[in-house]
Structure 1
Amino acid sequence: LYYLQKYRQKYCFFNDDVQGTAAIAAAGFINGMKVQGHSLKEARVLFFGAGSSACGCAEGIASVMMHAGLNEETARSRIWMFDIDGLISRTRRPTPNEWAGKFAVRSVPGGKELTDLAEVIRVFKPHALFGLTGAGPVWTEEVCKAMIETCERPLIFPLSNPSSRAEVTFENAVRWTDGNLLFAAGSPWPPLEHKGRRLVASQCNNMFIFPGVGMAARMSKCTEITDTMFTVAAHAVADYVTEEDFERGNLYPSLEHLRDVGKKIVA
């Protein structure tokens, strides 16, 4: 993030690990909220992790919420971040990094610092939980059940790669939510049968983003690749998913449409 901010107006480049991941996460978020029946302006999002990838994704989510009509302050207030020391707030010590600090909670409910993830979920009642820590399967049954208690069909996105580093397995997430979830991960997971239903895990992979953004930048001869371009790319990916995809639990297009999605981003 430091080098991205330092050089992005000097050179025409982008950081795919940060911006590409943010855009593809935002695409799944857009569709997940659509399936839930909530508008983007209503969304509450919790990030587990506060490193470069998590902060970049949080910026991407904030961008699509602002694109939906929220002002910057309101959009950021609807995104909470949780790191190794607990909920990031303006009163917590140690002070969070510069980028996570933009999402620091102004006033912690109850006036106490929150260090338990399940408790934060019960207080905040998020529609979506994103994991970008690489910490492995640390989301417990209590965490997943807290999500289902506060949202009828929560978005559970363990985005850390490889699958051994994901915050929760697809199997456990399905079992602990009784199948009432929308799941996407950074690595592929095989489909599961649960109570007679075939459930699929969407793969949140920025290969849907960077080819189109790169080609668009080259063809347009732009001098800077802006955040708005990635917001547009996120919507282009999201719009390619059909109602039939939603019925199967897919939040992203199938890989056979990869080239077509790239062309849509360019257009």
Structure 2
Amino acid sequence: MGLLDRNEKLFYSVVRKYVEQIMPLVYTPVVGLACQNFGLIYRRPRGIFITIHDKGHVYEVLKNWPETDVRVIVVTDGERILGLGDQGACGMGIPIGKLSLYTALAGIKPHQCLPITIDVGTNNESHLKDPLYIGLRQNRVRGQEYDDLIEEFMTAVVQRFGQNTLIQFEDFGNSNAFRLLEKYRNGYCTFNDDIQGTASVAVAGLLATLRRRRGEPRHRSAVRDGHGSGGHPQEEARKKIWMVDSRGLIVKDRPEGGVSGDKVHYAHEHEPIKALADVVKTVKPSILIGAAAIGGAFTTEILQEMAKNNKRPIIFALSNPTSKAECTAEQAYTATNGTAIFASGSPFDPVTINGKTFHPGQGNNSYIFPGVGLAAVCAGIRTIGEDHFLIAAEALANLVNEEDLQKGSIYPPLSTITECSVKIATKIISYSYKKGNVSVYPEPKDKEEFVRAQMYNTNYQSALPSIYSFPKL
């Protein structure tokens, strides 16, 4: 971050060139540690903090931001930071990290990015007792007062920066995330990355697994441990998806705690089962997806049961940061004797089993959200729906080549992620023009060239004579 202060272009040039080494520092897993210690490492503001006490004056607060051409806002209220829970105002590390990836991986110009944290308090007692905590020292405000602040914020963003400003919701608690998405998705250019981005990258991975499993039986069913923020709304998919939450298998007429909200759509006619291991033994799924942020939830017993029931079991341990991953790559490959098709939310090193080296794919949202955002900025997309994220998933899956699959990865190499963003943005823009869901006209003939022309350039091009030689970054 010191380099960013001294030389913005050099910072993004380094991140883009060494993305595999740098991304874990600006995103998961290090960003989680940064949020937990944000008060300690805080040096100066990098974005805007809007507190509950700013109600009635949010527009004036936004006017204090010196840049007027803001096109992408990542906003959090810090209640559900990765799998680390309520971090309050310290959650600002997430919008900062996400927007740095928007620039490095999708070429969104730095001055067009604005990180925002809405501070309504925190229920994290360790933060409240920490003398270095930077936020409001009070418990979270909820209810109508909270909703009124969010409504004022959304209205103020459009008033200050325009209707086409992309507002990305990030790490809101589940009780707010779904309902805020439903409330604003049809009237604003907005999406929730935890809901739609996570689902999209998971679908992309599953589409890629179909190519690895050619000639094998089709997926019988999928068990998803943790009814969090990513989901599949289609009726046919629901019949094959078995959800597990903190009270066990989600079934109709569940005696303990019942089933409410969006969980109802995934409730099966089945007897209650408490333990995940027993669910796997009973349902015998071909796919096991973890999103519960419970480290080690996929035990050796569960992984071996998956291998027992499937020639190529699919294991997605998607929770972040690394400490919250349901299992490690080594555990997955070892327990299944190298037969697992594995992906994780955080990076893991290659694993060698029986003389073969596997390169686990990182099912990270950074494959998806930069490209979606780039499309929205370039074409002025008015609203973003599930159809856009399905297109993004299909585009990403098509970028996985046979060499990637042979190495055990169902995602393209991280080193190619900028190209992935361009390809995804191009597909989404083409679709959006067909649907008439854009505000930028005339329609460009070459969509990919149109996208590349608007991207932030991190390359250094010397104007000196060729007799001078400079080392590459």
Give the TM-score of the pair, scaled to structure 2. Answer: 0.50
Q: Which amino acid aligns with 1:99?
A: D
Structure 1 residues 43 and 5: alpha-carbon distance in aligned structure 2, compared to 1, 3 A threshold: farther
Structure 1 residues 48 and 31: alpha-carbon distance in aligned structure 2, compared to 1, 3 A threshold: same
Residue 27 (structure 1) shift: 0.6
Distance (Å, rounded) in 2 between the aligned partners of 1:132 and 1:177 = 20
Distance (Å, rounded) in 1 between the aligned partners of 2:404 and 2:411 = 8
Choose the corresponding residue for 2:261, options 68, 92, 98: 98
Q: Could you list the structure 1 runs, at least 4 aligned residues long, displaced by more than 3 angstroms after superposition.
A: 38-43
Q: Hey, what does 2:203 align to over in structure 1? A: 26
* 1:45 pairs with 2:228: no
Residue 221 (structure 1) shift: 2.3
**Structure 1: tracts of 5 or more residues without a match:** 63-71
Distance (Å, rounded) in 2 between the aligned partners of 1:147 and 1:103 = 21
Choose 166-175 or 240-249, whichever is displaced more: 166-175
Q: Hey, what does 2:395 align to over in structure 1? A: 236
User: What pairs up with 1:121-140 in 2 under 5 angstroms?
Assistant: 121-140=280-299
RCO higher in 1 or 2 (8 Å CA, sep ≥ 6)?
A: 1
Distance (Å, rounded) in 1 between the aligned partners of 2:421 and 2:259 = 36
CA contact (8 A) 1:33 1:39 kept: no
Any idea what the Cα deviations from partners look like across 1:33-58, whole Å, max 9, x if unmatched? Answer: 33123799745211000122xxx2x3
**Number of aligned residues:** 248
Any idea what the Cα deviations from partners look like across 1:117-147, whole Å, max 9, x if unmatched? Answer: 2222122221211111111112211111111
Question: RMSD in angstroms over aligned alpha carbons?
Answer: 1.8
Q: Report SS of the residue matched to 1:147.
A: helix
Q: Hey, what does 2:384 align to over in structure 1? A: 225
Q: Rg: which structure is higher?
A: 2
Q: Which amino acid aligns with 1:100?
A: K
Distance (Å, rounded) in 1 between the aligned partners of 2:419 and 2:219 = 31
Q: Hey, what does 1:84 align to over in structure 2? A: 246
User: What pairs up with 1:1-267 in 2 under 5 angstroms?
Assistant: 1-37=178-214, 42-52=219-229, 56=230, 58-59=231-232, 72-93=234-255, 94-105=257-268, 107-108=269-270, 112-267=271-426
Distance (Å, rounded) in 1 between the aligned partners of 2:419 and 2:217 = 26
CA contact (8 A) 2:358 2:409 kept: no
Distance (Å, rounded) in 2 between the aligned partners of 1:154 and 1:12 = 38
Question: Identity over the aligned pairs, expressed in percent?
Answer: 38
CA contact (8 A) 1:30 1:40 kept: no
**Structure 2: tracts of 5 or more residues without a match:** 1-177, 427-473
Structure 1 residues 249 and 216: alpha-carbon distance in aligned structure 2, compared to 1, 3 A threshold: same
Q: Report SS of the residue matched to 2:261.
A: coil
Q: Hey, what does 1:67 align to over in structure 2? A: none
Structure 1 residues 3 and 38: alpha-carbon distance in aligned structure 2, compared to 1, 3 A threshold: farther
Q: Which amino acid aligns with 1:20?
A: G
Structure 1 residues 153 and 193: alpha-carbon distance in aligned structure 2, compared to 1, 3 A threshold: same
Q: Report SS of the residue matched to 1:99.
A: helix
Q: Which amino acid aligns with 1:84?
A: S
Q: Hey, what does 2:72 align to over in structure 1? A: none
Q: Report SS of the residue matched to 2:191.
A: coil
Distance (Å, rounded) in 2 between the aligned partners of 1:261 and 1:83 = 33
Q: Report SS of the residue matched to 2:189.
A: coil
Distance (Å, rounded) in 1 between the aligned partners of 2:263 and 2:215 = 26
Q: Hey, what does 1:68 align to over in structure 2? A: none
Distance (Å, rounded) in 2 between the aligned partners of 1:95 and 1:236 = 39
Structure 1 residues 159 and 42: alpha-carbon distance in aligned structure 2, compared to 1, 3 A threshold: closer
Distance (Å, rounded) in 2 between the aligned partners of 1:23 and 1:265 = 12
Distance (Å, rounded) in 1 between the aligned partners of 2:200 and 2:217 = 15
Residue 195 (structure 1) shift: 1.2
Give the TM-score of the pair, scaled to structure 1. Answer: 0.87
